[in-house]
Each structure stands twice: as structure tokens, then as C-alpha cells.
Structure 1
Amino acid sequence: MFSRLATAFSNAVDALAPPLPLHEEFLWHWTAIMKFYTDRNSNSKKPIELTGLAGRLEEMSKILEQEESELGTENMGPCMEHFLQHKMLEQMSALSRADTPPGIKKCVLVFTTRLLSNSKQALLPQMGIYTAVKKLIGLCGEVLAAPTEREEVCWSCSPPIFSFYNKIACLIPVP
């Protein structure tokens, strides 16, 4: 009963107010994430599932994918440009270091894997992505028997991160 009412309400809102452009929706999600961390009343001890942050990161990922599929691989869209210029992934990796709220580290690892795996653009050479991935690699395995250990291993073995390791290995001179 409640789900039908919620669906009807959602449809009515969509009919009255057109959806936001991708760039505005992307910024809205990011602003909401940052507001969570700046709000003094937010309870950072709650699990990530109760905060809505995981859903916002997932929506941001979907928006970046949708933008790329609409524009193609030749050009970066405004969302991706904003993402890179404002070094959002570096900010996410800094947030995941404290793992507050519990589970944000896992969500950032999933976001990064999805971003690097699904993008047809060469994102890894971008400085904002490269340094963030390097920080995330350093975070993985930092805490022994961490609750996110399984995700850390999966993330470390994912194809984009594995290729990252290979590129670094090629740059190191062999004695």
C-alpha cells in the first residue's frame, strides 16, 4: 500500500517538475555527500546503509556512465570535467581513509572500480584519478582483518587496478 502511494507521489512530482540536467543532478548528489560531512548533527557512527551516501555515489556513477554514453568517447562531458577539475576522487579517498561512516571505504572502492571499468576514456593517466588510486591502493591492507578486506582484495585485483600495477612496474628500472 505504502509503495503504491510513494510511486504515485513520485510520478506526480516527475510530471510537475522536469528532471534536472545531468550536470546539476551530479552536483546535487556531491553537495549532499559533502553536506553530510560538514553537518554537525550528522551521526557518523551509523552504518553507510542508513545514511544514503552509498546511493548517492551509485547515482553519481550512473550519471557519469550516462553522460559518456550520450557524448561518446571523444569528449568529456561537464560532469566528468567537474569531477576531474575538483579532484572528487581524491576527496573520496580521503573520506575513505577514516571509514566514517562505517562502510564508506567499500562504497568508494566500488565507485572507483565501476568508474575505471566502465569508462571508455583513459582516466587513469589523469592526475586527479592517478593520485587517488595510488592513495586507495595504500589504504588497502592498511588495517589487518578489516571489515572491508574482501572488497579491498577484489578491488586490488580488478582489471583497471591490475593494469595500474603493470604500468608502475614498467617504470621501475630493474637493477
Structure 2
Amino acid sequence: METFSRLSSLLLQALETREPTVDLLDSFIDHWRSVTTCYIQTSDDSCPVSQTDIPWRLRQMLDILVYEETQQAVEDTGPCLEYLLQHKLLETLCMLGKAQYPPGMFQQVLLFFNKLLTRMQKPLLELIRVYRPVQRLINLCALPGCHVEKEEVQFLLAVCSRVKQDPHTLRCVLELLEQPAGLNQSQHSTQASNQCTDPPCSHSQTSATSPVQSEYSATSPGQSESSATSPGQSESSATSPGQSESCVSGAALTDGGLLWALLQLTKSQRASVRQKASEGLLLLA
């Protein structure tokens, strides 16, 4: 009986023992600073990224973002996501990936964006500080001489899946693809840019809303009715089949971009890459 009492006491103590609270934002910032520190301290330009702790740091940052989201309402923006958006971390990652420094960094950036879009529940493609870097990364895919088709097609498929979930983001994703062939097309592209700059979410915000959270909001009360549009108001907000079809057909004529990259990858020598590229095209159909 005495042994049983001791065991019960130990179990009770174990339940009452709490881990020290970890500040997610501090941890997130620390991981990001460690990534940037690698560039400052590394002197060997030929050292591949796999021999640094950058991949691990990026995975930790992603895990923190996903965990933070599970602890709050979907419409809320946590401090870690807010930091990522305010400090333009995604744009910085795009530049590092494009520079391919250290070697293999482009692959790590593709993986990060892929998992960010697939694991996060928030409609991130509505945010200009997300869809702009996504556009830039898309334009780096399927280029001659690149040997990361697997990661490229996984990233592109993730983008297509999110567009399928939130059809109104299609115009934002294809914005850079609508290059003008004439004056009318140029004006149309400018209008599409303006529509994408104002995220289509219709959540009302107070004046105390943070700058990042306001990216989810509709246009401000001071704006004119002609510019203050919501998904259900702005000419079906690019969700109507006619508009989406127009965007897709126009974008398909341009080198670079989502459709072009997917079409290029359907010609890959790897069957798995061809299959995923075809799946992406079907999601946009």
C-alpha cells in the first residue's frame, strides 16, 4: 500500500510539473537570425546548404508558424506570422534561392514555400507579402539547366491546390503573367494589379488592427464604393468561370509563370514530375 501511495504521489508530481513557457516569437526570430548569420560567417562559397543548419532552421520556423496557428482562430494573425510578413522574410528567401547561395538554397526555399502553403490553413495567397514572393518563385521554376524538378512541381502543385480552395486568388497568382501586348491589355493588367493589392477578405477591422492583420481586411471605410470591393461584389472577384478562363488563357501565351512552368514540367523525363504537373493543370481548369 505504501508503494502504491508513493507511485501515486510521483505521478501527481509529474502531472503538476510544467515545462517553462517558451516564447514562440523569440524562438522564431532566433532561428531566422541564425539563417542570416550563416551568410555572414560562411567563407566557403562552395559549401552546400545541406552542410549548414539552414534547412533545420527553416523547418523549425515552419513548425512554429503551424503550431502558432493551431493555438488561435484562423482569422487571427499570430506574432510569428506577423513578423514574417512585416519583415518580408519570404521575399528575402526568394532572393537567396535565386542566388543559389549557398548551393542548394533554391531547393530549400521551394520546400519551405511548399510546406507553408500546404500546412497553413489561413488563405495566405490573399496577402500581397505572400503572393508577390510566390509569383517571383514561380517565375524561377522550370528554367533550363535546373535540376530540382521534383521540388518545383511540388511547390507549383501546392500553389494550384490553394488556388482551387480560394479561386479569387487566381488573379493574384497570375498577375505578373498578364504582360501587355497593347494598351488595353496594359490597362487590364493594371486593374488586375489594383484588385490584387487590396485583399478580398471581407472581415471588418477596427482602427486598432495591426498592419499585418489589416492585409486580411477589406478596403477601408474612407475608400470610394468603386474601389471598396469584396469577393462577392467585385465582378464576382475573379471567381467567375469567364474571368478565370480569361486570365488563364492570357497567361498561357507568356513565357514564365504558373501555366508556362506547369506545361514545361509536363515534358519532363520523370514520370512522377509529369503526373504532378498535369494534376496542377487540372486543378486550374
Q: TM-score, normalised by structure 2?
A: 0.50
Structure 1 residues 173 and 97, CA gap change in structure 2 (3 angstroms): closer
Structure 1 residues 61 and 135, CA gap change in structure 2 (3 angstroms): same
Q: Over the residues paired in the alignment, what is the CA RMSD in angstroms?
A: 2.5
> Which structure exhibits the higher relative contact order, with contacts defined as CA atoms closer than 8 Å and separated by 6 or more residues?
1
Structure 1 residues 162 and 21, CA gap change in structure 2 (3 angstroms): closer
Larger gyration radius, structure 1 or structure 2: 2
Q: 1:1-175 maps to which residues of 2 (within 5 A)?
A: 18=20, 20-39=22-41, 41-142=42-143, 144-160=144-160, 163=163, 167-168=170-171, 170=244, 172=247
Runs (4+) of structure 1 exceeding 6 A deviation are none
Q: Name structure 1 gaps, 5 residues minimum.
A: 1-16
1:68-111: per-residue Cα shift (whole Å, max 9, x none)? Answer: 01123131110000001111001000100011112111111111
Give the number of the structure whose residues are more often helix, by fraction. 1
How far 1:173 sits from its partner (Å)?
8.7
Percent identity between matched residues is: 31
Structure 1 residues 118 and 133, CA gap change in structure 2 (3 angstroms): same
Separation in structure 2 between the aligned mates of residue 174 and residue 106 of structure 1, nearest angstrom: 29
Q: TM-score, normalised by structure 1?
A: 0.79
Structure 1 residues 32 and 19, CA gap change in structure 2 (3 angstroms): farther
1:37-87: per-residue Cα shift (whole Å, max 9, x none)? Answer: 233x44232121111100000000000001001123131110000001111
How far 1:153 sits from its partner (Å)?
1.9
Q: Name structure 2 gaps, 5 residues minimum.
A: 1-18, 175-243, 251-285
How far 1:119 sits from its partner (Å)?
1.2
Separation in structure 1 between the aligned mates of residue 248 and residue 97 of structure 2, nearest angstrom: 32
How far 1:155 sits from its partner (Å)?
1.6
Structure 1 residues 174 and 158, CA gap change in structure 2 (3 angstroms): closer
Separation in structure 2 between the aligned mates of residue 19 and residue 100 of structure 1, nearest angstrom: 36
